Amino acid sequence: MQQTQQIQFQAVSDDIKSILANPDWDDGSLGPVFVRLAWHAAGTYDKTTKTGGTNGATMRFKPESSDGANAGLEHARNFLEPVKAKHDWISYADLWTLAGVVAVEEMSNGQCKVPWEGGRSDKNEKTITVKDIPPNGRLPDAAQGAPHIREVFYRMGFTDREIVALLGAHALGRCHTDRSGYDGPWTFTPTKLSNQFYILLLRIKWEKREWDGPEQYKDPKDKLMMLPSDIALIEDPVMKPIVKEYAEDKELFFKDFAQAFGKLLELGVNRNASR
């Protein structure tokens, strides 16, 4: 990346950093929802057809914008609009992914640095076609088990180890009944990236929550929750040992997460594509 570009992207990063703290949003930080935005913008990639992914910022358009898995992400996109207005040269595709990278670094106290390079382009709203927008249903379904998880992540080109590392992002944020239908945080520190997700997943005796919503699990005090897809990690004979590794070694988790998340944000990128 040229020095001028580095300076420009650093200015954007600084402005993203300046809006992360938000007392009116969830647990006081926009960080978790920015990570989710970057994650979901990338998670539509199909390595066979080479469609989907971060290039194009196609979540601005239907049907991707109306995918149930993306419910609530319009808030994240709107929070970034003032940054986009100030730096109108940056593509939405770069802005959304950079926001996720900045959030990860800030919420890990600088310990988890995700490799990131700019140069993504946006699809033009006047020339975009239905074929340019990935269909709904490509993102992970939290109600499913290990076979579904593998199907989704293998489609993107990830290994089992990378899958477990990426799902460690559930250390951040919380679920909402008006978005995913699920309810509650995974960890006691939802605005800090750590290996707490894995520690709690292994340590707590999770039980099904009795309520009117979709199937999810709770701790004995009903303070935390896990999704069926989370529980699947410790029921799978290949994934459970990796969960144990990350529970015992935060630095290893940060290293593997940074690499896997960086790889995720590169999916579908074509830096030679026209806007």
Please give the positions annotated as active site: 40, 186
DSSP SS3 for 119: coil
Rounded-to-integer distance, Cα 82 and Cα 59, Å: 18
Burial pattern 199-216, b for ≥16 Cβ within 10 A else e, equals bbbeeeebeebeeeebeb
CA distance 190 to 171: 6
> From start to end of 78-220, where are the E strands?
174-175, 184-185, 207-208, 217-218
Contact 172, 100 (CB under 8 A): no
Question: How many angstroms separate the CA atoms of 248 and 202, rounded?
Answer: 11
Are 170 and 230 in contact, with CB atoms under 8 Å apart?
A: yes
Q: How far apart are CA 49 and CA 152, in angstroms?
A: 14
DSSP 8-state secondary structure symbol assigned to residue 122: B
Question: For residue 9, how far is the Cα from the chain centroid?
Answer: 21
CA 72 – CA 174 distance, rounded (Å): 12
DSSP 6-60: HHHHHHHHHHHHHHSB-TTSTTTBSHHHHHHHHHHHHTT-BTTTTB-SSTB-GGG
